[in-house]
């Protein structure tokens, strides 16, 4: 790492201009075997009145799911969390198929999926139903390509209508209070301040933040080399304020946290180990309480704030898309709704005829 710094263009320096590594994803089959309760979710026994799960069909389905997850991991480098989510949705369908019509996944018929949707999704959220449908479509397209079945049973299934979900974000004053909350007189507080500043300055996903290595930081250029979803790499600038706190963390706090250990992980726990998503989530919640923020908050809220505040200050939508690592511009466009609502509120509050 070299030392110097660059300036930024937004309020606290998200400047306008790549999921963790394959090791983070891990082999999907090995991951499932190591954590069966997390990876292969399903009822241990059929509810009263339902036939027991038929083991032969379930075994066939399990082998099919393993092959599908392995293929996705090889082709797309899906993260461990995505692997587990796909496996869970497919396992629940496989268990239902084995218990109800007595079929394996590759024998699924169109009416089976309608029946499953009716049994499982009644009264549920459209977003959850659509997520599951997306997983099923991906699986059956893959199975068709692999000649495991002759016809895609999802062809006539359509997504449920769902309301526009506007991301929850923070006002700039709330962000300032959150960033000022850590006690920077301690090594852990200085680390927390650097992490919060860097997340707000760069808009990283929490996994991208906690898996950063020292070699991923270009201090001279004030740029991060980030590996995002699908193992796609991108360069993300960060501003002067974040640069200052990151330098202080590296010079003053990290050596204390590192102690006698030797690791390239950028952000360390108090035990000198790599920071985890769960620990950083608790850190954000703790400082939100200190800052007097009562609305629900998570690390992703800072990512939302990064995007919204850039747009509020005139950033180009496509530039924000690149910084966030969104593959589709429509994903980024949701933040324009947040910015528009903020402008309407400002107009109503300050215009004489508002």
CA distance 338 to 335: 5
* Highest mean pLDDT (candidates 44-53, 115-124, 242-251, 332-341): 242-251
Note whether 325 and 228 are within 8 A (CB). Answer: yes
> Is a pLDDT exceeding 50 seen at residue 86?
yes
Its pTM stands at 0.53
> Is a pLDDT exceeding 60 seen at residue 162?
no
53-56 contacts, C-beta under 8 A, 24 or more apart:
53/95, 53/98, 53/99, 54/98, 54/99, 54/102, 56/104
Closest CA to 250 of 292, 187, 334, 159: 187
Backbone angles phi, psi at 155, to 5 degrees: -55, -35
Contacts of 291 (CB under 8 A, 6+ apart): 174, 177, 178, 180, 181
CA distance 28 to 20: 15
pLDDT band with cut points at 50, 70 and 90 for residue 118: confident
CA distance 115 to 118: 5
CA distance 139 to 67: 10
* Highest mean pLDDT (candidates 118-122, 286-290, 328-332): 286-290
SS3 223: strand
pLDDT at residue number 307: 82
Domain boundaries, the chain: 22-145, 172-350
SS3 258: helix
* Minimum mean pLDDT range among 3-12, 100-109, 241-250: 3-12
Residue whose entry in the numeric block shows the structure tokens 């429509």: 330
pLDDT at residue number 164: 46
Residues annotated as catalytic (active site), given as ranges: 205, 229, 300, 303, 326, 335
Note whether 11 and 172 are within 8 A (CB). Answer: yes
CA distance 24 to 208: 11
DSSP string, 73-118: HHHH---HHHHHHHHHHHHHHHHHHHHTT---GGG--HHHHHHHHH
CA distance 284 to 192: 9
Select the CATH number that applies to the domain covering 172-350 from these four: 1.10.443.10, 2.40.50.140, 1.10.760.10, 2.30.140.10.
1.10.443.10
Quickly count: other Cβ atoms within 10 Å of residue 48's Cβ.
5
SS3 269: coil
From first CA to last CA, the distance across the chain in angstroms is: 52
CA distance 34 to 50: 30
Between vectors from CA 76 to CA 72 and to CA 80, what angle results, nearest 5°?
70
How many residues belong to the chain?
A: 354
Strands 223-227 and 217-218: antiparallel
| Mean pLDDT, residues 53-62 taken together | 80
| Mean pLDDT, residues 317-327 taken together | 67
> Is a pLDDT exceeding 90 seen at residue 254?
yes
> Is a pLDDT exceeding 90 seen at residue 67?
yes
| CA 274 vs CA 176, 246, 271, 325, 341: distances in Å | 26, 16, 9, 23, 39
| CA 9 vs CA 15, 240, 262, 315: distances in Å | 5, 10, 36, 9
Closest CA to 236 of 325, 317, 328, 323: 323
Longest dimension (CA), the chain: 73
Note whether 241 and 226 are within 8 A (CB). Answer: no
């Amino acid at each position: 790492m070299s030392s110097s710094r660059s300036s930024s263009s937004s309020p606290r320096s998200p400047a306008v201009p790549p999921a963790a590594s394959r090791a983070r994803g891990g082999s999907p089959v090995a991951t499932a075997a190591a954590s069966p309760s997390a990876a292969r979710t399903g009822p241990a026994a059929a509810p009263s009145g339902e036939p027991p799960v038929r083991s032969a069909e379930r075994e066939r389905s399990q082998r099919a799911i393993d092959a599908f997850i392995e293929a996705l991991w090889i082709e797309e480098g899906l993260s461990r969390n995505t692997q587990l989510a796909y496996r869970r949705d497919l396992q629940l369908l496989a268990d239902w198929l084995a218990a109800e019509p007595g079929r394996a996944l590759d024998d699924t018929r169109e009416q089976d999926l309608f029946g499953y949707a009716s049994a499982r999704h009644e009264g549920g959220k459209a977003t959850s139903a659509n997520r599951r449908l997306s997983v099923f479509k991906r699986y059956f397209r893959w199975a068709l390509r692999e000649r495991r079945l002759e016809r895609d049973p999802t062809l006539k299934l359509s997504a449920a209508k769902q309301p526009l979900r506007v991301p929850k974000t923070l006002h700039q004053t709330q962000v300032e209070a959150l960033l000022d909350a850590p006690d920077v007189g301690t090594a852990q507080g200085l680390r927390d301040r650097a992490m919060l500043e860097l997340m707000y300055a760069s808009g990283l996903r929490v996994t991208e933040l906690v898996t950063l290595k020292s070699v991923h930081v270009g201090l001279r250029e004030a740029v991060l080399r980030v590996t995002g979803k699908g193992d796609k790499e991108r360069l993300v600038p960060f501003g002067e304020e974040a640069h200052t706190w990151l330098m202080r963390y590296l010079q003053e706090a990290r050596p204390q946290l590192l102690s006698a250990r030797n690791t390239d992980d950028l952000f360390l726990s108090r035990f000198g180990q790599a920071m985890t998503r769960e620990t950083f989530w608790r850190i954000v919640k703790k400082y939100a309480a200190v800052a007097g923020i009562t609305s629900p908050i998570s690390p992703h809220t800072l990512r939302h704030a990064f995007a919204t505040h850039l747009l509020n200050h005139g950033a180009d939508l496509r530039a924000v898309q690149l910084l966030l690592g969104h593959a589709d511009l429509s994903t980024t466009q949701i933040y324009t709704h947040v910015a528009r609502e903020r402008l309407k509120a400002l107009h109503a509050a300050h215009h004489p005829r508002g």
